[in-house]
Structure 1
Amino acid sequence: MPIQIDDTTRRCTLISEELNIEGNASEVQVLTDENLRMSVAELAGKRVPITEAEADALTVAGAVDGRRHLKSSAPGSII
């Protein structure tokens, strides 16, 4: 799991192979990465890809939700 949330203190830790950064949930932004076609959590300029369930958990903890829906313009796309 690339995130950990302490429900008592509202502190979050973003985890990846090269990164382990901690901060208040209110300092975290949940964004849509167009290249990855998924959500990422950003803290102090560092980004970690996350699942939608993790994105929802972060926003409940107080993170800023900056996600947006992506649409495909390719013919025959199911999006």
Structure 2
Amino acid sequence: MPIEIDESTRHCTLIGDQVRIQGTGPEVEIFTDEQLRMSVAVLSGERIPITEAEADALTVIGAVDSRRHLKTSEPGSVI
């Protein structure tokens, strides 16, 4: 699991291949990465791919949710 969350303090740790970053929920922004076709959490300039369940858990502690839904019916969509 690439994230750890402490809901009581609203702190989280994002875990990548060679990086481990800690911060508060509101410091995290979640984006949709069109190439990966999944969500990415960004904290201190580091991008960590995450599952949708992890993205939802981060929003509970105050992360900024900037995800877009990718649809095959939208012009220019990568899927």
How far the C-alpha of 1:70 sits from its partner, in A, is 1.2
**Aligned-partner Cα distance in 1 for 2:32–2:50:** 10
Structure 1-normalised TM-score? 0.88
Structure 2-normalised TM-score? 0.88
- Unaligned 5+ segments in structure 2 are 74-78
- Percent identity for Structure 1 against Structure 2: 68
Pairwise CA RMSD: 1.2
Paired position in structure 2 for 1:28: 28
**Aligned-partner Cα distance in 2 for 1:47–1:72:** 25
Paired position in structure 1 for 2:4: 4
Provide runs of 4+ in structure 1 moved above 2 Å: none
How far the C-alpha of 1:68 sits from its partner, in A, is 0.3
Paired position in structure 2 for 1:17: 17
Query: Residues 44-70 of structure 1: CA distance to partner in whole angstroms, max 9, x if unpaired?
Result: 110110000000000011000000011
Return the index of the structure with the highest Cα Rg.
Answer: 1
Structure 2 residue 40 is matched with structure 1 residue 51: no
- Unaligned 5+ segments in structure 1 are 74-78
How far the C-alpha of 1:71 sits from its partner, in A, is 2.3
